[in-house]
Amino acid sequence: MKIYRVAILGCRGRGTAAARAYHAHPRTEIVALCDLVEERRNTLGDEVGVSSRYADLDEMIKDTSPDIVAIPTGTEFHYDLCMQVLEHGVNIEVEKPMCIDLIQADDVIRKSEEKGVQVAVHHQGRVGSSMQAISKAYNEGKIGNLRYMYGSGKGYYGGYGLMNIGTHMLNNMLHFGKKCTSIAAHLTTGGKPISPEDVNPSPSGMGTIAGENITATLQYEGNVTGTLLQHRFKTMDTNAYTMELFGSEGRLFWKSAGAWFLPTPHYLPDGNNDKWESLDLLFPDHYDPNSSASQDDYWFVEEYVNALDEGREHTCSGKEGRHIIEMMMGIFESAAYGENVNLPQENRTHPLLRWRKENGLQPPNEMPRGYGEWLNLETKRITN
């Protein structure tokens, strides 16, 4: 069977995670690494045994002819790098979120279709072991007909949490909701509905954001509704990063490290804490839990290999990634204009920048890229 040749573009944390997964998988071979910083590419190259190391992306692709280029870089670089790689006619995997707005996302999808190659967006949780377990139980009909979904973030500042972790949660929910058709959202900053003055550049280069706390109601096809919370906590809490599916016959509960089934649609606490049944997590037969590869990242590679073998799109396809951006822009647009937003949007410009302009304001001033420094500055603005 074909061994797919992979090049890694960006050798920091997410690049290292991607490289470990591709290195561990029996159907992929890392043929090259690219990073502007020699120390980073040498450190990762030594770990995964790759001697072809580049500072120039075009040179790397011409020399090594990869089947897939992984782009685990900062979000603000995704668009330019995706377009540059796609020009070579190579399949890509890009870190989430795919882009910072819909105009960029539309361009990436258009270019991939022009070149006849795939775009996969790294929403690894959607194909990971706990999601495999949830999907199996769901497909077996354990909860009957799906009627409602709930998802929460980890406690980041809401707008940043939406662009960062919310992308994963929306993608997880989309796996079951199939397609989101409309959104109504309420965003607050400092305890008040957001104003145009509350629009800021996101930390980590994730575009333009607003909202300290986000509550969004999502309408999906098939009469399924959902709620997404991205609320700022005083202290980050990864235990809050969960998804629950409510069906006519039961419920399913997801965390990145576990999956549970409740065999009743309604549950009243009665002192018996054993009603939730733990589900067995699912792994590819060839996954080695002792390897350095994260099981979610490994599953993502497994899905890409299978998709390319079968001539179909990755479960976390570029089109799905664009739909996630439509949903996030819809959340911002609904809160800004105080109305329900139907998807997909006809106006593809960023709604928050459009809102500021309509209120006579220029684009927001630059802010620190690092989340901690950014949050301190924003907290002072809110409290003054």
Angle formed at CA 6 by CA 256 and CA 315, multiple of 5 degrees: 40
What tokens appear for 186 in the block? 């309420």
Number of domains in the chain: 2
Distance separating alpha carbons of residues 76 and 100, to the nearest angstrom: 7
- pLDDT tens sequence across 51-62: 999 999 999 999
Per the structure, the complete domain to which residue 309 belongs is given by 4-126+291-318
Residue with tokens 């890229």: 369
Give the containing element (helix H, strand E) for 367: none
Confidence of residue 268 (pLDDT cuts 50, 70, 90): low
- 186 and 334, same structural domain? yes
pLDDT higher for 156 or 272?
156
Question: How do residues 206-237 score in pLDDT, each as one tens digit?
Answer: 999 999 999 999 999 989 999 999 999 999 99
Tens-place pLDDT, residues 334-368:
999 999 999 999 999 999 999 999 999 999 999 99
Distance between start and end Cα atoms, the chain: 63
Task: State the pLDDT at residue 215.
Answer: 98
Given a cut of 90, whether residue 304 has pLDDT beyond it is: yes
| Phi/psi at 228 (5° precision) | -115, 130
Across-strand partners of 185? 216
Task: Give CA angle at 171 (80, 144), nearest 5°.
Answer: 165
pLDDT in tens, 93-122: 999 999 999 999 999 999 999 999 999 999
Among all chains, which residue has been given the structure tokens 């490290």? 257
- Say if residue 249 is in the same domain as residue 304: no
Within this chain, do residues 219 and 121 fall inside the same structural domain, yes or no? no
E-strand stretches of 212-313:
213-220, 224-231, 243-247, 251-255, 258-262, 277-278
- The pLDDT of residue 272 is 58
Is residue 210 located within the same domain as residue 234? yes
Tens digits of residue pLDDT in 277-302 = 999 999 999 999 999 999 999 999 99
pLDDT value at residue 271:
59
Same domain, 266 and 354: yes
Tell me: do 104 and 171 sit in the same domain. Answer: no
pLDDT for the residue numbered 273: 58
The average pLDDT across 263-276 equals 73
372 and 261 in a common domain: yes
Same domain? For 114 and 255 the reply is no
Q: Does position 264 have pLDDT exceeding 90, yes or no?
A: no
378 and 263 share a domain?
yes
Determine if the pTM surpasses 0.85: yes
Q: Is the pLDDT confidence value at 250 over 70?
A: yes
Give the mean pLDDT of the chain: 96
Residues 24 and 141 in one domain: no
Which CATH number characterizes residue 213's domain? 3.30.360.10
Neighbours of 228 (CB within 10 A): 25
Tokens of residue 185, six digits: 């959202």
